[in-house]
Chains A and B, each alone.
Chain A
C-alpha cells in the first residue's frame, strides 16, 4: 500500500469522525429549533448537557481534515478553497455563529431575555453549517473543472446546482438523525426519550428517502457517483448495506433498543460516507485531481504519517478517557432490556 493511499484513508476516517461527533453536535442544535412547548426547557438542558464537555474536541476533527488536505494534497485543497470560496465562507460564518452562541450561552452571565436570542442563533447556525458543508461536498463530487472563465463560471455555477443543494439538505437531515439517536440514548427523562425516539424515526425515514433522491439526482449532478453506485457490484452491495442498516436502525428505534439503533446508524452513516469516497476513488476532486497526482512529495507524506501515528497514540486514549468520564452510561452502558427507566436513572449524568 502506498503512502498517499494511507493518508487519504486517514483523511476519510477523520471526516467520518467529524460527521459522527461534530456533525451530531450540529444535529443536536437543529433539534433546538423544535424545542418548543412545555418540555422545551428540558430539551435544551439535555442538549446542552450532552454538548458542553465535548463539542470543542469534536470540532477539532474538521481542522484536522483541513490540515491533512493541505499538507498531503495541496492542489486539491487549492482547487476546493478557490472555487468554493463563497460556500466555504458561509460555512465559516455558520461555524463562528454556532460556536460563539454556544460559548455565550454557557458563559454564566445574566443575559436575561437575550438568552433566547442566543438560542435562536445557535439553532440557526447549527442548521446552516452542515448544509453548507454538504453543498461543498456535493460540489466536489460533481467535479470542479479548472475553468478560467468569468466570475460566475468559476465561483458560482459549480455549487449553485440542484445536486449540491440536495446533498446539503441530506447532510442536515443526516446529522439531525444521528443526534436524535444519541440523545435518545442519553436522555434520562422518559418523555424526552420518547420525543427523540420519534424524531429519530422520522429523520431516519427522511434519510432513506433523501438517500435515494440524491442518488437519482447524481445521474446528472455527479455522474461519477451514479456510475459507481449503480453500475458496479460493490456499489449495489453498499447500497444494500446502507439500506439494511437504515431499516434496522428504524426497527431498533421502534423497539426502543437505542444502543443497537445507534450502532446501526453509525454504520449507516459510515457506509454512506465511504460509498461516496470509494465511488470517486481515486479522484479527490474530479475530473482531474487524484490521490496520486495531487499528492505531496514522499518525504512529507512519510513525516506526516509518522506524526499521525504518534499523535494517534496520544489522541485515542485521551478521547477514550473523555468519553469514559462524561458519557459513561451512554457509551459504555448496556442497552436496557425492556426499558424500565430505573437503570437509566441510576447512571447517566449526575
Chain B
C-alpha cells in the first residue's frame, strides 16, 4: 500500500473512531443535565437514577474520547507535517481555544461525577451545564478548523508560503460557520436516537417501567427536535458547498455535466468513463430549486473542473446519499413522534413507534460517519482546498502501513471492550442494580458513580 494511502486511511480511521465518542461527549451531557434538572424540579427519584446512569456513561465514553482525541492531535503532525507547518499558524488559534474547552470539560466533568456529595445541588447542576457547553464548544472550534480546510482564507500566498495571516478571518470561514450548527445538531440527533432506541427496546419488554419511559421521552425530545432542524441546516450547508467547492457538490449529487434546471437524483451508479449517473431516480428541477430557489438555476457539474481534480466520486456520492436518506428518515420519525404526542399525549404507548425507534437508533451515527466521509473525501485531492494537495502534505516517513495495521488492531480491541462495557452498563436495568452490587465487586466506593434511588418496578 502506498504511504499516502496508508496515511489517509489511518487518519480516516482515527477520526472515524474519535467522532463517535466526541459526539456522545456532546450529546449525553445535555441529556444528563436535563434529567438532573427534572429531578431538582420534580423530586422524582427516577430522574436522579437516570442522571447517574447517563453520567456513568458519559464518564466512561469521555475517557475514550480523550485518548482518541490525543491520538488525533499527534497524528495531525505525525502524518501531515507539511500541512501543519503551513496551516498551524493559521488554524492553531481554533485548536488553542478548543484546548480551553477540553480543560473546562474535563475539570467540570470531574466535579460533576465525583462531586455529588461535595457540591450543592445548584453547583452540581451548574457543573453539568458547563460540561455540556464545553462539549459543544470543542465541536465548534475543531469544526471551524476543518471548515478552513474546505474554504481556506485569512492569508495570502507569496512564494508558496502564507503571508498576511489573519487567524480570526481564517476561523470565521464560510464552510466552518455553517458546518458548526449542522455538526452540533448531528451530535444531539445521533445521541438522542441511540439512547431512545435503547430505552425503546427495554420498553417493548417492560412497558410500564417508569425509568425507561422518562429516559425515552428525554432522548426523543433531544434527538427529535435536532433531527427536524437537521435537513434545514444541511440544505444551507449544501449552498455553501455549491458556492465554494463546486466539484464536491457535483460529486455529492452525481452531477457530471453543468446543467440548468438540474434534477435531484436518488440512487444510481456513477459511470466515470461515460461521465454520467446510471439508473438514478430523478426529481426534475429539484436540485436547482433546493440550492438556488430557482428551478432553472445552473448547477456546475464535474465537467467544470479538470479530471485530476475530481474527488473519488463513488465513495463521496454513496456516503452523501446515506446521510441524506438517514436524515430524511430520522426527520420523518421525529414528525411521527410529534404527532403521537399531540394526538395521544404520549409517545411511550405505541409499540409500532417504539419498534421504529429501535430500528432507527443507529442511523444518526451512520449519518455522521457518512457525512464526514462525504465532506473529507469530497475535499480530495486537496488537503487545503485549492491551495495544497494531500500528497504534498504527507510525512516522508516510510512504512506507514505498520502504524496503520497497529492502530487498526488497537481500535478494534478498544471498540470490543467498549462495547462489552456498555453492554453491561446498559444491560443492568436499574432494578437489577442491588443484585449486582451484592455480587461482591470489590471496588472502592468513591470511584463508582452509583445509581441511587433504585426504582422498584411494579409487576
Contacts and interface: CB of A to CB of B under 8 A. Distances in A.
A307 B421 contact: no
B110 A322 contact: yes
Nearest to A71: B92
Given A57-B106, A71-B95, A300-B92, A49 B60 contact: no
B103 A77 contact: no
Given A85-B397, A109-B425, A48 B109 contact: no
A206 interface: no
A68 B100 CA distance: 12
A19 to B, nearest CB: 16
A70 interface: yes
Contacts of B444: 45, 48-49
A68 B439 CA distance: 48
A59 interface: yes
Interface string A97-123: 001101110111110000000000000
B66 A99 contact: yes
Contacts of A72: 89, 92
A300 B168 CA distance: 9
A78 B73 contact: no
A34 B242 CA distance: 61
A99 B67 contact: yes
A82 B425 CA distance: 41
Contacts of B163: 297
Contacts of B167: 299-300, 303-304
B448 interface: yes
A92 B70 contact: yes
A59 B110 CA distance: 13
A81 interface: yes
Given A82-B396, A299-B165, A321-B111, A67 B421 contact: no
Given A41-B442, A297-B165, A106 B106 contact: no
B115 to A, nearest CB: 6
Interface string B416-459: 01001100110000000000100101111011111000000000
Contacts of B398: 151
B70 A318 contact: no
B95 A67 contact: yes
Contact of B397 (A49, A80, A82): A82
B64 A63 contact: no
A109 B92 CA distance: 39
Interface in A50-76: 52-54, 56-57, 59-60, 62-64, 66-68, 70-72, 74-75
Interface in B23-69: 56, 59-60, 62-64, 66-69
A322 B107 contact: yes
Interface stretch (B78-86, B210-218, B279-287, B346-354): B78-86
Contact of B111 (A81, A110, A151, A322): A322
A144 to B, nearest CB: 13
Contacts of A318: 103-104, 107-108
B103 A307 contact: no
A82 B92 contact: no
Contacts of A68: 96
A32 to B, nearest CB: 14
Given A63-B102, A311-B96, A106 B110 contact: no
A93 B113 CA distance: 27
B110 A57 contact: yes
A74 B97 contact: no
Contacts of B109: 56
Contact of B78 (A41, A81, A95, A304): A81
B395 interface: yes
B249 to A, nearest CB: 31
Interface residues of A, number: 67
B325 interface: no
A45 B446 CA distance: 9
A66 B64 CA distance: 19
A103 B58 CA distance: 11
Which among A49, A54, A66, A81 has the greatest number of chain B C-beta atoms within 10 A? A81
A78 B92 contact: no
B435 to A, nearest CB: 11
Contacts of B82: 78
Contacts of A307: 93, 96-97, 100
B329 interface: no
A53 B166 CA distance: 38
Nearest to B410: A96
A288 B68 CA distance: 33
Contacts of B448: 106, 108
Contact of B84 (A74, A103, A299, A326): A74
A89, A95, A314 — most chain B CB neighbours (10 Å): A89
Contacts of B424: 109-110
Interface string B260-291: 00000000000000000000000000000000
Nearest to B170: A300
A349 interface: yes
Nearest to B448: A108
Contacts of A108: 56, 425, 441, 443, 447-450
B336 interface: no
A56 B436 contact: no
A103 B63 contact: yes
A325 B119 contact: yes
A325 B66 contact: no
Q: Which of B56, B60, B67, B118 has the most CB of A within 10 A?
A: B67
B73 A63 contact: yes
21 contacts: A45-B444, A48-B447, A52-B446, A59-B66, A60-B106, A64-B96, A70-B77, A72-B89, A74-B84, A81-B74, A89-B78, A95-B67, A99-B63, A100-B64, A100-B414, A108-B56, A108-B425, A296-B88, A300-B89, A314-B100, A321-B111
Given A108-B447, A304-B93, 16 more contacts: A45-B444, A52-B447, A53-B111, A53-B113, A56-B106, A64-B96, A71-B88, A78-B82, A81-B81, A92-B71, A110-B436, A154-B396, A296-B88, A300-B92, A319-B107, A322-B110
Which 8 A-B pairs have CB atoms at the shortest separation, nearest pair first?
A71-B92, A103-B63, A81-B77, A296-B89, A99-B67, A74-B88, A311-B100, A53-B110
